[in-house]
Structure 1
Amino acid sequence: MNKFGEKAMKQRRTTVVVVMLLLLVGGFAGGRLSILLQYPIVKDKAFGNLSYAYNEIMHDYLNGAQSKALVDGAAEGMVGSLQDPYSVYLSEDKGEAYVQSYQDHFVGIGVEIRQQDGAFIIDSVIKGAPAEKAKLLKEDEIVSIDGKSVQGWTFDELKEKLQGKSGSTVTLQVNRSGKTMTMKVVRGDVPVLTVYSEMKAGGIGEITISRFAEKTADEFDAAIKSLQKKGMKSLLLDLRGNPGGLLNPTIEIANRFVPKDKTIVQVVYKGEKRVLTHKSTQKEPWTLPIAILVDAHTASSAEVLTAALKDTAGAQVVGEKTFGKGIVQNFNQLKDGSVLKLTEAQWRTPDGQWIHKKGIDPNVVVAAPDYALLPRLDAGLKLTVGDYGDKVVTVQKMLQTIGYDTGQGSGIYDAATSEAVRSFQQKESLPVTGDMNDLTAYRVLTKLMDKYKVEDPQRNKAMELLQAAESGAAANK
């Protein structure tokens, strides 16, 4: 080979090396760019601090640490730093529980339980649930689960033992009116109902929505059809205490009442980069009078429905100003079950009003009676002569409301209070001790609820308005 050939060969080798280097550099740069695009957090200077803390903990922390727990903790802290009570990161099981809370069923036995003087008492049996099929009854006391005494357990421990895989069997020992019985219950799907309906006097159909979940619109449709078959002349919609929930079923329900093509709600995202206007797709005009009951705990999606029907469907809103939650959270479930719930938008009423931290004013303001706002008494309650404090005040007010004289009711559990409790216990065929315990408190609360059902001034006012509207409509025919 001559010197010109050798020179050409060297040039080709040099070119190949340069190309290889360029490819390596390009590949590295491309990979880095891909990482930066996929994980923009890497660009933040503070990411170095996070990485440093993670490495130090994993390598040197005395008690050791789990990588997953550290990452979950970082995610929780990051969302927590937003100081937004509605945005949250829920890791694995918590995320799964959050998603399941919106589904139309869960796996279990289907009972509601109260804790009473250290015992677990079945407060109600859900219709169609495994517990009903196994013939468990209200007021049964759960003594043991799968041969293990429940004495000293917490509610969470009891719940964990009652839940399990669908088709599996749990053995309960219950005390029923002094008789011990063993019941085998096959776990299965328990329906989660969010809609309750009842026909009131004068053809007033009442529907209560506890929250807006996956199947709430379907439940609502079934309730409407049932009431229509019974001759409903007007509708009373009770949204008191409804914390909201999913937006889609709320819009589906609004479609029934809001005139076609009228706005139900506007959802406005960050910087107004996206505005979603939900308009009614009503199929048949709604002609019956509507009244809606609201209070300070009516929030979020419940406020969306209230505003839509008030602004466009002529609904009379009765009660107290609503909570005022005019922002929207979207949630995404990750591969491991964790959930990121994040505030991403706010919403406007059909007439363009922002209601966040303002609430919705009712057409007719009616306050709830003072006794309806009394706090519930916690399980494990034990009060006797000489005790004092807020719980004693609550007990005295409850007893006074149902007609028992506690004297001055000064917050001291005195002889007059003890005598009032003794009188109540004697009338209710309870052990007469003069002391307040869970069982006595439960019976007092039951009497209060019975009184409220009759006296409820908000419901009674709404029914009065509906009866007047129905009479007026009949007169105009």
Structure 2
Amino acid sequence: MSSMARRSIPALHPLGILVGSVLTGIGVFVAETFLGPILTRSMTPPEERILGMVHERLLSSYVEPKDPEWLMHRAVEGMLDGLDDPYTYFVGPEDLQRLDEDSTGKLIGIGVILDGSTGIVRYPHPDGPAELAGIAPGDRFLSVDGLDVTQMTTDQIVQAIKGPRGTATRLGLERQNGTLYETEVVRQPVQRTTVGRVELLDRDAGIGHIHIRSFARTTPAELDQALDQLYSTELRGLVLDLRFNTGGLLDAAVNIASRFLKGGPVCSLQVRDGDDLVRVADAKLSRAADIPLVVLLNRRSASGSEVLAGALRDRGAAILVGEQSYGKGVYQQVHRYRTGNFALKFTAGYYLTPSGRILEGNTDHSRGGGLLPDLPVAVNLEQSGEIQGWLGYDFPPAKYREQVFNLFPRVAELKAPADPVLNTALKHLQKVIQA
């Protein structure tokens, strides 16, 4: 993939997003099979023997002692960087937890939402570690494991609290009434919401709106809950919003397509050698294939979003509204090496829609470069920023909502911004349903 121009997809979710990965095996390979002293055996290919000899020479003769694992990591990192592929990179020990979080949809932490401007606790996640430890809306962090955090920004406080799963952190806090207290919280997986806004746009017409932020293992189940909520109101048309969704797990995207298709192909994975692998919708999961469907896209809809949208349009299940999508049509494999305490993420092939279209923008293929909408709608940068903020906002849980609104009045005053893309989709569905 050395011909690929280097591009980047904006980080849209504050906790980060895994873009377009296909997890293909955890702990299956051992680092020593291609680096280290074992490479000097006579049956090892010449290139690998050379790597092994360089590794040994640096360990024995470099002016300053170096850790063998550190040297191995730098060698792997150098090979991947040399491919000049923005989607291929080394995942070091410090980033492995983030890799797991992105794929599972669960974050390792204490489960608390802080106010962005003040760092004060808005609310703890219900039944999460922070709530169980007694942390409440309005509490202010004073210290984390003895470190004074009173002058830190919200992001710095979050970084101070982060740590490995199962480890404890000692927190000093102040209640609204001035009471000081300390509590110990054990960091645990906390569910991250990947399906955001779920709402009725037109109650009389039965038109609903669901925004999917990313694709993780939990996303299909979250979508089912959203559909259950809307079907209870006699859903007759749906806007599936994939704006600002940069992708995630392919299996989740295919699983979601199964809700809107009665079987058949979703996409093909085109590999370097061998036959294409066709991913097929599960007809048994089809539950919304008979309602009119509109999919929203923008310039930040990428990878899994494009696979899902492309499949739904190619199969005649939906029309696309909004802007041309990003154009990330390559998929990655993630191989984790437990002995070496690292992982590789590398490009393994192309996505093709059911009609055979290549989505990748970094290719000279005449049909490549994202998805063009059926109904294009222009959005300026200011509008886009407001819409992104609105779609990314989580309303407080019902048990804390009144308390949060009293503590943070501006949260209660938040209103949906003007959204010409959503309005266009709504008008289209109203016409279809009334026809």
TM-score (ref. length: structure 2) = 0.74
Residue of structure 1 in register with 2:33 after alignment: none
SS of residue in 2 equivalent to 1:208? strand
Do the aligned partners of 1:122 and 1:140 also contact (CA within 8 Å) in 2? yes
**Partner SS for 1:78:** helix
More deviation, 50-59/343-352: 50-59
Once the two structures are TM-superposed, the CA of residue 459 in structure 1 deviates from its matched residue by 1.0
Moved more, 457-466 or 69-78: 457-466
Please say which of residues 338-347 and 197-206 is displaced more in the overlay.
197-206
Q: Does 1:210 align with 2:208?
A: no
Q: How far does residue 153 in structure 1 lie from its aligned partner after superposition?
A: 5.0
Q: Aligned runs of 1:303-452 on 2, under 5 Å?
A: 303-336=306-339, 337-357=341-361, 358-373=369-384, 450=414
- 1:146/1:281 CA distance change after superposition, 3 Å: closer
Q: Pick the structure with more helix per residue.
A: 1
Q: Choose from 247, 258, 269 the match for 1:244.
A: 247
Alpha-carbon separation, structure 2, partners of 1:276 and 1:323:
23
Alpha-carbon deviation of 1:150? 0.9
The Cα of 1:107 is off from its aligned counterpart by 3.4
Q: 1:193 to 1:79 in 2, by over 3 A?
A: same
Pairwise mapping of residues 184-199 of structure 1 onto structure 2 (< 5 A)? 184=183, 186-187=185-186, 188-196=188-196, 197-199=198-200
Partner of 1:141: 140
Deviation string, structure 1 residues 337-379 (Cα, Å, up to 9, x no partner): 411111111011111111110110111111223313469xxxx
1:174 to 1:319, Cα distance in 2 relative to 1, 3 A: farther
Question: Aligned partners of 2:69, 2:39: CA distance in 1, in Å?
Answer: 26
Aligned amino acid, residue 252 of structure 1: N
Partners in 1 of 2:52 and 2:290 — Cα distance?
Answer: 63
1:58 corresponds in structure 2 to 59
- The gaps in structure 1 that reach 5 residues or longer are 1-31, 376-438, 473-477
Distance 1:56 1:168, change over 3 A: closer
2:392 pairs with 1:464: no
- Tell me: CA distance 1:350–1:124, structure 2 relative to 1, closer, same or farther (3 Å): farther
Which protein has greater RCO, CA pairs closer than 8 Å, 6+ apart?
Answer: 2
1:363 to 1:332, Cα distance in 2 relative to 1, 3 A: same
The CA deviation string for residues 54-80 of structure 1, in whole angstroms up to 9 with x for no partner, is: 344323333321111000000011111
| Segments of 4+ moved more than 6 angstroms | none
| Aligned-partner residue type, residue 379 of structure 2 | A
Counting aligned pairs with the same residue, the percent is 27
Q: Equivalent residue for 1:407?
A: none
Q: How do 1:124-203 and structure 2 match up within 5 A?
A: 125-134=124-133, 136-138=135-137, 140-151=139-150, 153=152, 155=155, 158-163=158-163, 165-166=165-166, 168=168, 170-174=170-174, 176=176, 179-182=178-181, 184=183, 186-187=185-186, 188-196=188-196, 197-202=198-203, 203=206
Query: Given that residues 39 and 52 in structure 2 are in contact (C-alpha distance below 8 angstroms), is that contact kept between their aligned partners in structure 1?
Result: no
Aligned to 2:277: 276
CA-CA distance at 1:186 after TM superposition: 3.5
Give the match's secondary structure for 2:104.
Answer: coil
Asked whether 1:257 is paired with 2:260, we answer yes
Deviation at 1:217, TM superposition (A): 1.3
- Please provide the CA RMSD for this pair: 3.2
